[in-house]
Structure 1
């Protein structure tokens, strides 16, 4: 079996890849580099001359060939490799008529716990959203706690509002919903430490990305000073980057994204790295499309330290136009496909109807006009 054709489709914030072999077997994958999917498409096209004629079963060798040719790093390059790698695993399962999770070692669990992503611009709004998630059957939720409005608040007022929002959630749902906090890389180390200390009694499931991802050492300095579990990694792309986070104090969860962190081949290595450090996996899965979601679920079924997977319902939404069927969500749990490979198929008509989503460029500003995130 040899790869005979490499096709690309841009839709929404994703770049989808479809590989077809000379025997007619096809595999699909998704890059989740949602800011620049067209750039990812060009990288995939540059890989075409290498891929055509190659054995699709040699995923590990192909990963290294594509990554080490020039040793360029970053989400655009590894996003392209990630989509190709998912497609190779999809192909691998089809001749054997087994799902990818079987190829990864079989079940560690029956279903993957979905973590509802919620947001709101006030304490009442986030509390209502948390209550809605709980009523829908979710046992875990992640709140986008830090909003653009916080950048123009005074220091004390900002912290007070953030604490008020999380307090409102706890007052509404009690202790029966695991609630993680997303700070979206918006705070300086000192501010993040102060906030973590104030919310610690409210028992957050985790605090994610309290500071920008530029410095692993700075993240470790925050981790050494707080008492809450920290989560990091959604903007990271390789085991070498994740290894540095895994070794930092306070990091309890790693957050690889199968669409930018090297596909299935690489993410399962990141999971093993975390397991060796007694860390859990909370994959970055929003705003993933339906193919990356499926790839995450296959990994989550097989990986023992896969804790929960952030999720926004896809059935009936834009994602359901891109494939013939999405991974089912039932009472807050994602169930793995039993069909061969990834178990999802692209819908070309739906892809053609879905334009590339434009991403506006511009960081949030302070009241003096300077960039707020430093």
Structure 2
């Protein structure tokens, strides 16, 4: 949802050329109107595995869903258990994105998977920036979630640092092994943690500000939804 939709379409088509066998997804974060989303879907039919939160709100998602066969996923319009019922009733989404960081922890995320399986909805897992402790938690939850029907998202490869002993986990064919030792199966590297704590204290970044970051590249940028 950052670039003009035509640039987003071009990007996805180029990715399809480069990775012909990989499932592709895009998350506009509610930045499109329903007509814009339909136009993008028409251009990317057969390219996307699913489309995540292209429009804003449950009713807009339901309107779009009624006009396309493209599976729609969300981590914006279904964020409470009772909203699963509303989403099914309105046929607003076909895939719910779990996340143990806000679905009441590991047990809440597993419960969400059970509810979605009973409701006939697909389940995947949302991701944001995280290190090895969160990654280990996500792996355990994914392995224990019934009906996990799509590969999980992870932003982990974006980071270069780590705070668990043993170094960064290695992905093999897009997969990670479930840790087998007690608890989450990871041990905290306190020296690495102290190093990153020192960096935090020097940088003094208390919260992420996407709008401020965008203005570095587009000085007149104003955050608004929908944008197109």
Q: Give TM-score scaled by structure 2 length.
A: 0.79
How far did residue 249 of structure 1 move?
2.0
Q: 1:367 to 1:238 in 2, by over 3 A?
A: same
TM superposition shift of 1:246: 4.3
Q: Residue in 1 aligned with 2:122? A: 280
The number of residues matched between the two structures is: 214
Structure with the bigger percentage of strand: 1
**Alignment partner for residue 192 of structure 1, among 30, 33, 37?**
37
Are the aligned partners of 2:59 and 2:92 in contact in 1 as well (CA < 8 Å)? no
| Cα root mean square deviation, aligned | 2.9
1:181 equivalenced with 2:26 (yes/no):
yes
In structure 2, stretches of 5+ residues that fail to align are: none
Deviations 1:190-243 (A, max 9, x none): 21122223322x34111111023xx21222111111221111015754322344
Distance 1:243 1:177 in 2: 32
Return closer, same or farther for 1:210/1:316 CA change in 2, 3 Å cut-off. closer
Q: State the distance in 2 between where 1:315 and 1:228 align.
A: 28
**Which structure's CA Rg is the greater one?**
1
How far apart, CA to CA, are the structure 2 residues paired with 1:348 and 1:302? 29
* Separation of aligned partners in 1, 2:159 and 2:169: 12
CA distance in 1, matches of 2:8, 2:158: 32
Aligned: 1:207 with 2:59:
no
| Counterpart in the other structure of 1:165 | 11
CA distance in 2, matches of 1:243, 1:352: 45
**1 or 2 for the larger relative contact order (CA 8 Å, sep ≥6)?**
1
Contact 2:211–2:222 (CA under 8 A) maintained in structure 1 = no
Deviations 1:107-130 (A, max 9, x none): xxxxxxxxxxxxxxxxxxxxxxxx
Indicate whether 1:373 and 2:214 are aligned.
Answer: no
Deviation at 1:331, TM superposition (A): 2.7
> Which residue of structure 1 lines up, in the alignment, with residue 97 of structure 2?
255
Assess if the C-alpha contact under 8 Å between 1:233 and 1:242 holds in 2. no
Equivalent residues of 1:234, 1:283 under 8 A apart: no
Q: How many Å separate the matches in 2 of 1:236 and 1:205?
A: 20
Answering whether residue 222 of structure 2 is matched by residue 360 of structure 1, we say no
* Residues 336-361 of structure 1, C-alpha deviations (whole Å, 9 max, x = no match): 01111211122333223221644126
Q: How does 1:319-330 map to 2 (within 5 A)?
A: 320=162, 322-325=163-166, 327-330=169-172
Query: Unmatched 5+ residue regions in structure 1?
Result: 1-145, 151-157
The answer on whether the counterparts of 2:110 and 2:144 sit within 8 Å (CA) in structure 1 is no
Asked whether the equivalents of residues 32 and 225 of structure 2 are also in contact (C-alpha less than 8 Å), the reply is yes
> Structure 1 pair 348/244, CA: closer, same or farther in 2 (3 Å)?
farther
Partner of 1:87: none
